[in-house]
Structure 1
Amino acid sequence: MRKISFTEIEELLIENPVVAAIRNDNDLEAVLESKVLIVFVLYGNIMNLADICNKLKDKGKIVFVHLDLIEGLKGDHIGIEFIKKYVDPLGILTTKPSNVKHAKAIGLYAIQRVFMVDSLSLVTGIKNINDVKPNAVEVMPGIVNDIISHMVNKLNVPIIAGGLVSDKKDVMGALKSGALAISTTKRELWSL
Structure 2
Amino acid sequence: MRHKLIGLLEQSPVIPAVKDETALTRAAGCESRVLFLLGGDLLTIPGWIARTHEAGKQAVVHIDLVNGLAPKEVAVDWLLHQGADGILSTRPHLIRRGRELGMLTVLRVFAIDSKAVGNLQKETEMVTPDVIEILPGTLPKVIEKLSRRLPIPLIAGGLMAEKEDILAALAAGALCVSSSENSLWEV
Q: Give the alignment of 1:81-92 within 5 angstroms.
A: 81-85=77-81, 87-92=82-87
Matches within 5 A, 1:93-108: 93-108=88-103
What's the counterpart of residue 78 of structure 1? 74
Secondary structure class of the residue paired with 1:100: helix
The residue identity in structure 2 corresponding to 1:17 is: P
**Cα distance, 1:113 vs. partner?**
0.4
SS at match of 2:4: helix
- Between the aligned partners of 2:48 and 2:14, the Cα distance in structure 1 is 20
State the Cα RMSD in Å: 2.2
Give the length in aligned residue pairs: 143
Unaligned 5+ segments in structure 2 are: 141-158, 162-187
The residue number in structure 1 matching 2:9 is 13
The residue number in structure 2 matching 1:28 is 24
TM-score (norm 2): 0.71
Does the aligned pair in 2 maintain the 1:6–1:109 contact within 8 Å?
Answer: no
Q: Larger RCO: Structure 1 or Structure 2 (Cα < 8 Å, ≥ 6 residues apart)?
A: 1
**Residue aligning to 1:127:** 122
Runs of 4+ off more than 4 Å? none
Q: Unpaired segments of 5 or more residues in structure 1?
A: 150-192
What corresponds to 2:112 in structure 1?
117
User: SS in structure 2 opposite 1:72?
Assistant: coil
Select the structure of larger CA radius of gyration. 2
State which of 131, 138, 141 in structure 2 corresponds to 1:136.
Answer: 131
TM-score of the two chains, using structure 1 as the length reference: 0.69
What is the percent sequence identity of the aligned residues? 24
Structure 1, residues 132-157: CA drift from partner, whole Å, max 9, x if none? 11111111111259x6x9xxxxxxxx
Q: Is the 8 A contact 1:100 1:111 kept in 2?
A: yes
Tell me the alpha carbon deviations over residues 16-45 of structure 1, each in whole angstroms, 9 at most, x when there is no partner.
Answer: 121000111110111122222210000111
